[in-house]
Amino acid sequence: MKRVAIIAHTHPQFTLGGGELAAHRHFSHLRALGIRSHFVGMTVNPKATGRYFGDGQRVLTLGAQDHVLLTGGMDGFSMEFDQAEDEQRTLDFLLSLNADIYHFHHIWNVGAGTIRRLRAARPDAQLILTLHEYAAICANHGQMITRPGGQLCSGASPIACAGCFESHVPFDFVLRKQRLREVLDQFDLLISPSHFLRERFEQWGVPQGRIAVLENGLPASPAPLAETLETLDTKSRSFAFFGTLTPTKGLDVLLRATDWATTACGAQDLSLNVFGVSEEQARGMWPGLVIPDNVRFRGRYRPEDAVELMSRVGWLVVPSVWWENAPVVIQEARAARTPVIASDIGGMAEKTQGFGLQCPPGDPYALGALMAEVSGNAKRLLEHKKRIEPPLDIAGYHAAWDALCDGAARADAPRGGGVAGAKGAQRVRLDALAGSR
Amino acid sequence: MSHIDFLLPMPGGQMMAVGWYDGAAGAEPALRLVLGGGSRRALRHRFHLRDDLPPGHSGFVAIFDTVPGHGETAALSLGERRVALPAAPATGAWADLVARAVDGSFLAVLSEVLCADGATHPLPAGIVQALAPRLRSFGNFAQTPQGAVGFDRFDHCPGMEHGVVAGWALGGDDAGISATLVLLRDEALSVHPVLLNSLLRTDLAEVGRGFAYTGTDGLCAPLHLPRGTGAGSAPFAVLLLRSGQAFLAAAGAGESRQKRVYAARLMELEEYFVPPQTGCSLLPDIVLPRPDAQVRAHLPMPLKPQTHVLLHHNGRDCDLRDVLRHLTRHLKGRISVTLLRDAATPALTRAIDGARSDPGGERLGEIRTAPRPNGAGAGMTATPVLFARSSSLLQMLGWSALPEAMGDCDAEAQVLMEAPLLTPLGDADDTALAHIFRREHPAFVAVFPARILGHPGSAQGSPCLTMEGELRARLMALAEGGRVRFRAEGTSAVFAGRGPDGAEDALAHAFDLALLSRAQQERIAS
């Protein structure tokens, strides 16, 4: 039986991003299936040093084969560790797992050098990478928005990128791209949770067919609630935001939109519930922003409660002002049978097709008008609910993942184990195996 | 009436008479030495204004080709006037001149002995020793009703054997100005041309009132100093300015600058430079070196492939790891590297360690730092040497074939260069490409035998500040003889990297390219 290592840039016990949650969920599923597997959550969190780790301690095991590996900082531009010993430590730990399949979620906190050396040391192993954002393309936290203006960016180029980073010259970006293309070449299989992200990477230069599209898996969806037009009438006036206090998530746009819907569009009985952010945090981030009375801040929530919480509201709003990839909140909304209003760009536009409503990003007036339009309209809510298909569950995800691994293994056999292990030239069209849309 | 102030002995049995007479400078009667029964015309003579004399009187200096014998009666005749010579000239007379002569006489003597008739007349060390204290006493500003002069800087660079004096001169409306620079160095005086009206000096607008101010009243004098002398004494420059009346100002003792500092100051001055005539330049001469005249058709390839890389890493220090990995991926065999830096930073050291741990890193041999290695550097003599900037290695294609091709190449060196935009390359041959290489200074990768880099110490005598500049010069020299094989790289864009030392490094490269451009212009002109 194959031995699998799932490596994420952080551990869900430290942070609750979509990437690490998807990675850990898959790990748990593998364990449940009896597949020998390890989870490695990287952390460079300085708060973790001393608080969770003893002197000289680098590995924390939180459960059966469930590890956190502490390293030093990483240069986000080069995607390499600052200190050679961190790279060596990470490589040694990964090699000690003696896995047949190393599935990485993010290169961040793992390091380009670690990947190259792991490839060289283990030419027989399968290396898989799930791309959760655009970090290889964009040095601005992989978000493909310009600095400092925050405009949406549609493509990287040395000159354009140097315009975003005054401290860098175009050649830095030439070199960065070569390095990260080289890293991607080390993988037998590249997975994108969205078509949009795959297309962005193909525009950037990854050969077509090299990236398979496979949505992240969720726990099995609960049975739909029994609802009537009367209960939906009340619910249709209830909107929700699930997310973090990140400027690109667009909560400020949503708060302005709620104010506009209430004061200018006549939706007096509309309400907004904000999960994941406290009122204090919001006021700290946007001093002077008017927070309407019909907004309730619900604070932090547990990821496993998200679907149940979403099922209580009429509409989920995803107002991000960056492209996103495959927001887990949209998957969770599908599991909760809750329609989504989202920005009409990138992964949000793709993932809400068919059952959601879309509006321009960063436009509180358009969003407010749309919220007012659907507020109190039970029939319309019901209509959108009916269009929702449950998201891919973790079992379905694993089955597709297994097929992709088999396909990649067949494409690679016989494996030569060359020095650099460049894999790009021998890829089959993996998207055909992934049942992509 | 006339009077002899000084009678000075001159080299070669000559004699100089310094004095005055009661005639205007414009009248200029014939000057003769009356000796025994005959008389001899002066070899050279000069009449000049003297502030200490009443109107209608003039000073004079006259040089004769003979000296009265001991006890011999001699006299000087000026037209109808005659004055007896007081005594035969004595060596101590020069010290007497320095101590007692009025400025007008002193300047006239200096002009006459140093640069009369457009020629330089060297003086014995003893005379120079006598003159030196008076020369050093002049300040850096002088003014008369006819003109004014001031000095701003005098820098020199022992490594380049070059110096430059800069200042300004303003003349009266009706008088032309001529100027000569007198350099006192190592007990010798030399004269140098001064480029008047060669620097923009709009800042003199206020000072220039009363004179003929033009806005380009700056002056400069590039000095090509001989090598190997003067290590212990700072050169001292004095400007001899003539504008109706001669007067002196001193640029003072030159300040010795390090090469890069000196280059920076030269480049700064160049910004204001208005060449008074074609071909003038403030920059030092660069003589294209002739590396090893013997033509060797083939570079003997070592039994095991190996390459020594001279790397100008112009990426971020941490990115060196990628460049070294790029080398191991594209070059066969063992690779040693000289990083063209003074020293390795911690980030460079980490990058080198990282590269050694990368796949292929085991083929990296010694990696050292040296800003200006020579051909005799350890490990370079038996291997092909590859020079490149990191930005060229990462963006230009085809360079990796160069080291192997050396074995079959008739040329001494191979150059792969970026094809500058709009360069017609259709059927460009080596001659055409060599011309582009000389004219455009494109980014390039070169492979050559180590001996092209010269012997230890050869870099010290080069005015080039960078290894790349020095190498360009040597390749240009080789190309003159058709000993370089050129290829053009057709990639769409080669982005320049960054300088490790920021602006200072950029200036060093700009300085070298300015030197090479000048050399190319002179080549075309000749």
CA B45 – CA A264 distance, rounded (Å): 103
Beta-carbon contacts of B279 under 8 Å, excluding residues fewer than 6 positions away, are: B521, B522, B525
Smallest Cα distance from B315 to chain A, Å:
7
Question: Do the bridges between strand A238-242 and strand A271-275 make them parallel or antiparallel, or are there none, so unpaired?
Answer: parallel
Summarised one tens digit per residue, pLDDT across range A135-169 is: 999 999 999 999 988 999 999 999 999 999 999 99
CA dihedral sign of residues B279, B285, B290, B291: negative
The minimal CB distance from A169 to the residues B322, B493, B497 is found for B497
Tokens of A325: 């990839």
- Neighbour tally for B379: CB within 10 Å: 18
Residue A414 has pLDDT above 50, yes or no: no
Cβ contact B318–A87 (<8 Å)? no
Whether B346 has its CB under 8 Å from any CB of chain A: the answer is no
**What stretches of A205-270 adopt beta strand conformation (E)?**
211-213, 238-242
CA A327 – CA B394 distance, rounded (Å): 37
CA B32 – CA B37 distance, rounded (Å): 13
* Inter-CA distances, A262 with A100, A365, A370, B433, Å: 57, 11, 12, 72
Hey, what amino acid is at B109?
V
Cβ contact B394–A171 (<8 Å)? yes
> How far, rounded to the nearest angstrom, does the alpha carbon of residue A325 sit from its chain's CA centroid?
6
B173 falls in which pLDDT band (50, 70, 90)?
A: low
The residue ranking higher by pLDDT, B47 or B227, is B47
% chain A with pLDDT above 90: 79
Report the candidate in A346, A408, A339 with the shortest Cα–Cα distance to residue A195: A346
A360 falls in which pLDDT band (50, 70, 90)?
A: very high
Smallest Cα distance from A146 to chain B, Å:
21
Tokens of A66: 């469930």
Dihedral angle computed from the Cα positions of residues B252, B258, B262 and B263, in that order, rounded to the nearest 10 degrees:
160
Q: Mutual orientation of helices A394-412 and A18-32 as an angle, nearest 10°? A: 90
Cβ contact B357–A175 (<8 Å)? no
What are the boundaries of each domain within chain B? 2-118, 138-270, 306-525
Tokens of B478: 């080789």
CA B137 – CA A183 distance, rounded (Å): 71
The lowest-confidence range among B122-131, B244-253, B350-359 is B244-253
Beta-carbon contacts of B425 under 8 Å, excluding residues fewer than 6 positions away, are: B419, B433, B488, B490
Summarised one tens digit per residue, pLDDT across range A64-91 is: 999 999 998 888 899 999 889 999 999 9
CA B451 – CA B448 distance, rounded (Å): 8
Tokens of A18: 């979509």
Predicted-complex ipTM score: 0.86
Cβ contact B394–A170 (<8 Å)? no
Residue A96 has pLDDT above 50, yes or no: yes
Residue in A82, A117, A168, A169 to test binding to B, most B beta-carbons within 10 Å: A169
Report the candidate in A143, A138, A137, A116 with the shortest Cα–Cα distance to residue A127: A116
Judging contacts by C-beta atoms under 8 Å, the chain B residues touching residue A169 are: 495-498
Smallest Cα distance from B511 to chain A, Å:
22
Question: Do the bridges between strand B255-256 and strand B147-157 make them parallel or antiparallel, or are there none, so unpaired?
Answer: parallel
Residues 153-182 of A with CB under 8 A from B: 158, 169-172, 174-175, 178-179
CA B268 – CA B259 distance, rounded (Å): 14
Whether A276 has its CB under 8 Å from any CB of chain B: the answer is no
Per-residue pLDDT averaged across A316-345, rounded?
96
Question: In chain A, whose CA is at the least distance from the CA of B357?
Answer: A117
| Cβ atoms of A164 and A142 closer than 8 Å | no
Residue A205 has pLDDT above 50, yes or no: yes
∠ CA B250-B252-B256, rounded to 5°: 150
CA B140 – CA A331 distance, rounded (Å): 83
User: What is the CATH architecture assignment of B306-525?
Assistant: Alpha-Beta Complex (3.90)
Residue B177 has pLDDT above 70, yes or no: no
Q: How many CB pairs under 8 A join A and B?
A: 68
Whether B218 has its CB under 8 Å from any CB of chain A: the answer is no
Whether B322 has its CB under 8 Å from any CB of chain A: the answer is yes
What pLDDT score was predicted for residue A416? Answer: 33
The label of the residue with tokens 């040597």 reads B474
The label of the residue with tokens 């593998």 reads A30
Residue B500 has pLDDT above 90, yes or no: no
Using CB atoms within 10 A of its CB, is residue A106 exposed (0-12), middle (13-18) or buried (19+)? buried
Write down the number of H helices and E strands in chain B. 11, 25
Per-residue pLDDT averaged across A113-124, rounded?
97
CA A232 – CA A382 distance, rounded (Å): 7
Report the candidate in B33, B111, B44, B18 with the shortest Cα–Cα distance to residue B67: B33
Residue A373 has pLDDT above 80, yes or no: yes
The lowest-confidence range among A95-99, B114-118, B416-420 is B114-118
**What stretches of B194-313 adopt beta strand conformation (E)?**
195-199, 218-224, 236-243, 245-253, 255-256, 306-312
Residue B483 has pLDDT above 80, yes or no: yes
B377 falls in which pLDDT band (50, 70, 90)?
A: low
Residue A61 has pLDDT above 80, yes or no: yes
A437 falls in which pLDDT band (50, 70, 90)?
A: very low
What pLDDT score was predicted for residue B502? Answer: 56
**What stretches of A20-105 adopt beta strand conformation (E)?**
37-43, 59-63, 66-70, 74-75, 80-81, 101-105
Fold of the CATH domain B2-118: Immunoglobulin-like (2.60.40)
Q: 3-state DSSP call for residue A138?
A: coil
Domains (range + CATH), chain A? 4-217+394-432 (3.40.50.2000), 229-387 (3.40.50.2000)
CA A183 – CA A120 distance, rounded (Å): 12
Question: In chain A, whose CA is at the least distance from the CA of B499?
Answer: A169
∠ CA A268-A342-A132, rounded to 5°: 145
Q: How many residues are there in chain A?
A: 437
Smallest Cα distance from B259 to chain A, Å:
28
| Cβ atoms of B441 and B419 closer than 8 Å | no
| Cβ atoms of A214 and A394 closer than 8 Å | no
Summarised one tens digit per residue, pLDDT across range B421-444 is: 555 555 667 788 888 888 888 889
What pLDDT score was predicted for residue B246? Answer: 65
Residue B458 has pLDDT above 80, yes or no: no
Q: 3-state DSSP call for residue B165?
A: strand
CA B263 – CA B358 distance, rounded (Å): 40
B2-118 and B138-270 share one fold: yes
Residue B382 has pLDDT above 80, yes or no: no
What pLDDT score was predicted for residue A199? Answer: 97
Tokens of A197: 């992200």
Cβ contact A170–B354 (<8 Å)? no
CA B233 – CA B251 distance, rounded (Å): 15
What pLDDT score was predicted for residue B456? Answer: 64
Cβ contact A80–B354 (<8 Å)? yes
- Give me the residues paired with residue A53 across strands: A49
Whether A116 has its CB under 8 Å from any CB of chain B: the answer is yes
Per-residue pLDDT averaged across A343-354, rounded?
96
Report the candidate in B83, B53, B50, B87 with the shortest Cα–Cα distance to residue B67: B87
- Give me the residues paired with residue A272 across strands: A239, A295
Hey, what amino acid is at B455?
H
What pLDDT score was predicted for residue B434? Answer: 86
Smallest Cα distance from A321 to chain B, Å:
32
Residue B501 has pLDDT above 60, yes or no: no
Beta-carbon contacts of B350 under 8 Å, excluding residues fewer than 6 positions away, are: A82, A83, A84, B318, B321
What pLDDT score was predicted for residue A8? Answer: 97
Summarised one tens digit per residue, pLDDT across range B73-106 is: 888 988 888 888 877 777 788 889 999 998 888 8
The residue ranking higher by pLDDT, B85 or B144, is B85
The lowest-confidence range among A75-84, A189-198, A416-425 is A416-425
Smallest Cα distance from B494 to chain A, Å:
8
Whether B252 has its CB under 8 Å from any CB of chain A: the answer is no
Fold of the CATH domain B138-270: Immunoglobulin-like (2.60.40)
Tokens of A399: 């089955």
Question: In chain A, whose CA is at the least distance from the CA of B396?
Answer: A174
What is chain B's mean pLDDT, rounded? 82
Smallest Cα distance from A417 to chain B, Å:
11
